[in-house]
Amino acid sequence: MPALRAACQPRAAAYNRAVPDTTELHRLLHRHFGFHEFLEGQEPVIEAIVGGQDALVIMPTGGGKSLCYQLPAMFLDGITVVVSPLIALMKDQVDSMVEKNIPATFINSSLSQSEMDDRIARMKHGEYRLLYVAPERFKSERFVQALAPLSIALFAIDEAHCISQWGHDFRPDYLRLKWALKDLGQPQVAALTATATPEVRDDIIEQLALGKFGRQPPQVFVSGFARHNLTLAVTHTANKAEKLERILDAIRTLKTGIVYCATRKNVEKVYEHLVEKRASAIYYHGGMSEDQRTKAQDKFMGGKCPVAVATNAFGMGVDRADLRFVLHYDIPGSVEAYYQEAGRAGRDGEPARCELLFNYADVRTQEFFIEGANPTREIIASLHQALLRLCKRGPIEMPMSEIAEHVKAAKNDMAVGSALYLLERANFIARDYRQGSRTYTTRLIEPVKSLDGLAIDFERLDAKHERDQAKLRRMIDYVDHHGCRHGYILDYFGETDAPQHCSACDNCGGAPVSHRRAARQRTKVEVKSADQPLQVSANEKKVLLQKALSCVARMDGRFGLGRITLVLVGSRSKEVFDSQLDELSTYGLLKEFGYDFTLELLRRLGAAGCIEVSGDEYPKASLTELGHEVMRAKKLLDIELPPFEKPKPAARKAATAAAAAEAEAPYDVVTFEALRQWRRDVAAKMGIPAFHVYHDTTLKELSRQKPHSEVALLEVRGIGSAKARQFGAETLAIIRGAS
Ligand code: ADP
């Protein structure tokens, strides 16, 4: 489309807009999305985007990437185009925007041409702020021409790793996007993904020309990969029997989880062993029929079965939050793959264990996969010659294993499969599947005699082979790593402040008690000298314990230690915001001490008999009688505090000052009491805890501000649109009545 390209000038001029301050961003967050706080990493991304910078955003799944472009879309001048490959989810995404009164629409292959034309016409009239499109739309010249005259403020590309051939999910349609950007006058770009190694990151920046065409240099954001509630461990096992024993041990002690295996055969072997030992499990791999897989997945996801044994095919849609362990029976091929799978543990924020059962012999399986995915030139040449011979007289109906017998250099059928795919992509052969046939039909498109006459980029293939090997080496380095495992992983993903030490990996000494035996079996783990316990005065210690216990009390025995810890440290995580736990008065009380210290403190309070944890699948913590007495300072408890490294003085000062300011602000006691009485009645009627209606801090804020309209009500911290809809009218009536 050269004419179109020439007609569009880069839009560099539009990029120096005023950035709204943090109060304004919070107001938009609250008004349009009903959230009180940004999740970790969202705010700086949004600031950069509304400030006109190209951005590459790397956050794990569930990290809240969508808001990073949805909120700017409310502010920016022009439409935000969102490229997303997940057509099935597009309608839901748009529906949820529309529900929030955000004008959004989508265009994908599910629409008729007249529906598309109608939406494009509406877009021209400025009716939408967000347009979701599938990448393949940009194949259509008509579509690109329809977009070109629009004022595009931002081009947000979801799953941006699909543009890179180094990534695990390359999609050729994504390559088209750089041309589309050119045709659209090089608008500002935000590329978002959950997985991106440094190579993939560089590739995305280069392919999408981020920061080019007169725009400011791109900003790369990596955040949210830290998962403090996961204990990471590697156990060296001498044989398969030891691995199976570890798995049974985990099932006995931790109950719910996934065992990942590298091959279908291993999945079935492990499953059979578990069944023999009377453990309840499902198994899942790509060799099962779709129906079998759906049944197995539903059984596990629906909570009817506590354990799944699976290959990496068990991935998409596995969002069961209460998994207490993910064990790897075989080493995966990369740290990315490992962390993605291990990260399925503990989604509810409660402690969970991720253990890799390792034996050096297992590396061979991954090497075999790499050989299979990266056929050598020799194999491709040999297959090329074989196909010229085999297909000389016309199409052949031959399974891959049989074709492989004609390829001299091949030791690995998988490599022949990959080579077939390459020759197909180079338009040398075509492969079709006829219904009822036992296998593919292969035919020559053009009998090109020399391999050099085919469009196969051998340099690129070699580079990919090397990268796959390097990824496996980094995974083996993880196994052999003697330092902090969390630190290693965060460093791998490029997070800047990766820790040197944690209390939640085997190397830093965080293995749970029930796994001591395994820890003894390990040969290479360094023994570290214990850190100094926190030294404070007797009174400070008393207050510290009271704070921790009061949070346990506040959470009404409904959550486990992990979630209580998140509340105490003021976590901005989804688990906290979703349950509105940030509205508790104990939220952030131990912020200055951090997650590891606080969780350990709660564990010690448990060991001292102040906290009781019950329930197997969903362990819940509550105060014992002793806990109540210590909380009310009726009894003194002398326990050793966990080790602690002092925070920077500035952070501590700011936290204390903010807490003091909040505690001091006056409020109207009569209104507060009226609201409290009303809240008690509502909570009793609905059978929910009072803080689920409003927390005390919200009641105080209401009694300070005394809003008289729904709009004013929405300005109050702790009240989003859902709350306003549910309780708004009654709240306003109580406030009016009390004034
Ligand atoms: P990702 O695209 O990174 O996988 P999403 O954008 O789908 O994640 O967000 C995951 C969930 O987090 C969604 O349910 C979303 O509504 C919620 N979420 C996003 N931002 C916030 C926030 N600031 N506070 C609370 N929840 C949020």
Longest dimension (CA), the chain: 94
Q: What is the mean pLDDT of residues 561-575?
A: 87
- Cα–Cα dist 245/399, whole Å: 39
The predicted pLDDT at position 504 comes to: 86
Using the predicted structure, report yes or no on whether residue 136 has a pLDDT greater than 50: yes
Q: What is the mean pLDDT of residues 373-380?
A: 93
Q: 680: pLDDT confidence band, cut at 50, 70 and 90?
A: confident
Using the predicted structure, report yes or no on whether residue 109 has a pLDDT greater than 50: yes
Give the torsion sign (CA, 265, 270, 273, 274).
negative
The predicted pLDDT at position 646 comes to: 62
Q: 91: pLDDT confidence band, cut at 50, 70 and 90?
A: confident
Place of tokens 């360094």: 526
CB 403 within 8 A of CB 417: no
The predicted pLDDT at position 526 comes to: 28
Which residue from 652, 662, 664, 693 is spatially nearest to 676, judged by alpha carbons?
693
Topology of the domain comprising 662-738: DNA polymerase; domain 1 (1.10.150)
The predicted pLDDT at position 316 comes to: 63
Question: Of all protein residues, whose CA lies closest to atom 9 belonging to ligand 1?
Answer: 64
Question: What digits encode the pLDDT tens for the residues 335-368?
Answer: 989 998 999 999 888 899 999 999 999 999 999 9
Question: What digits encode the pLDDT tens for the residues 717-734?
Answer: 777 767 788 888 899 999
52 C-alpha vs ligand 1 centroid, how far in Å? 23
Question: What digits encode the pLDDT tens for the residues 637-655?
Answer: 888 898 876 644 443 334 4
Question: Of all protein residues, whose CA lies closest to atom 16 belonging to ligand 1?
Answer: 64
Instruction: Lowest mean pLDDT of 234-248, 480-494, 540-554, 609-623, name the range.
Output: 609-623
Q: Kind of pairing, strands 352-358 and 230-236?
A: parallel
CB 716 within 8 A of CB 730: no
Using the predicted structure, report yes or no on whether residue 575 has a pLDDT greater than 90: no
Residues 6+ apart with CB under 8 A from 556: 622, 689
The predicted pLDDT at position 129 comes to: 95
Architecture of the CATH domain 514-631: Orthogonal Bundle (1.10)
The predicted pLDDT at position 19 comes to: 67
The predicted pLDDT at position 523 comes to: 28
- Cα–Cα dist 58/60, whole Å: 7
The predicted pLDDT at position 241 comes to: 94
Residue 134 CB less than 6 A away from ligand 1: no
Q: 168: pLDDT confidence band, cut at 50, 70 and 90?
A: low
Residue 38 CB less than 6 A away from ligand 1: yes
Strand partners, 352: 230
- Cα–Cα dist 581/577, whole Å: 6
The predicted pLDDT at position 17 comes to: 55
The predicted pLDDT at position 359 comes to: 93
pTM of the full structure: 0.68
Question: What digits encode the pLDDT tens for the residues 470-499?
Answer: 999 999 999 999 999 999 999 888 877 777
Q: What is the arrangement of strands in the sheet containing 55-58, beginning at the earlier edge strand?
A: 104-107, 130-133, 79-83, 152-157, 189-193, 55-58, 219-222
Query: How much of the chain exceeds pLDDT 70, in percent?
Result: 89
Q: Given this structure, which CATH class describes domain 2-222?
A: alpha beta
The predicted pLDDT at position 705 comes to: 85
66 C-alpha vs ligand 1 centroid, how far in Å? 7
Using the predicted structure, report yes or no on whether residue 384 has a pLDDT greater than 90: yes
How many CB atoms sit inside 10 A of residue 265's CB? 12
- Cα–Cα dist 45/59, whole Å: 11
Q: What is the mean pLDDT of residues 449-468?
A: 89
How many CB atoms sit inside 10 A of residue 517's CB? 11
Topology of the domain comprising 230-358+481-492: Rossmann fold (3.40.50)
CB 314 within 8 A of CB 329: no
DSSP codes, 510-553? ---GGGHHHHHH-SSPPPPPPPPBP---HHHHHHHHHHHHHHHH
Which residue from 687, 692, 678, 660 is spatially nearest to 581, judged by alpha carbons?
692
Question: What digits encode the pLDDT tens for the residues 499-538?
Answer: 778 778 998 875 433 333 333 333 222 223 345 778 888 8
Question: What digits encode the pLDDT tens for the residues 170-226?
Answer: 788 898 999 999 999 999 999 999 877 777 888 899 999 999 888 888 999 998 888
Topology of the domain comprising 368-463: Arc Repressor Mutant, subunit A (1.10.10)
The predicted pLDDT at position 371 comes to: 93
Distance of alpha carbon 229 from the chain centroid: 14
CB 323 within 8 A of CB 344: yes
Question: Of all protein residues, whose CA lies closest to atom 15 belonging to ligand 1?
Answer: 64
Q: 438: pLDDT confidence band, cut at 50, 70 and 90?
A: confident
Residue 60 CB less than 6 A away from ligand 1: no
Q: Point out the ligand 1 atom lying closest to the alpha carbon of residue 29.
A: 23
Secondary structure letter of residue 354 according to DSSP: E
Instruction: Lowest mean pLDDT of 9-13, 188-192, 282-286, 395-399, name the range.
Output: 9-13
Question: Of all protein residues, whose CA lies closest to atom 12 belonging to ligand 1?
Answer: 64
Q: 460: pLDDT confidence band, cut at 50, 70 and 90?
A: confident
The two tokens of residue 531 are 């850190």
First and final C-alpha spacing in the chain: 67
3-class DSSP state of 192: strand
Using the predicted structure, report yes or no on whether residue 661 has a pLDDT greater than 60: no
Residues 6+ apart with CB under 8 A from 444: 387, 388, 391, 428, 429
**What is the enclosing helix (H) or strand (E) of 612?**
strand 611-614
231 C-alpha vs ligand 1 centroid, how far in Å? 24
- Cα–Cα dist 172/137, whole Å: 13
- Cα–Cα dist 132/86, whole Å: 10
Kindly list the domain boundaries of the chain, sorted by start residue.
2-222, 230-358+481-492, 368-463, 514-631, 662-738
Same topology, domains 368-463 and 514-631? Answer is yes
The predicted pLDDT at position 511 comes to: 42
Q: Tell how many helices (H) and how many strands (E) occur in the chain.
A: 31, 18
Residue 64 CB less than 6 A away from ligand 1: yes
Which residue from 509, 492, 505, 621 is spatially nearest to 554, judged by alpha carbons?
621
- Cα–Cα dist 265/286, whole Å: 11
Residue 96 CB less than 6 A away from ligand 1: no
316 C-alpha vs ligand 1 centroid, how far in Å? 17
34 C-alpha vs ligand 1 centroid, how far in Å? 12
The predicted pLDDT at position 682 comes to: 86
- Cα–Cα dist 622/559, whole Å: 8
Q: What is the mean pLDDT of residues 543-562?
A: 92
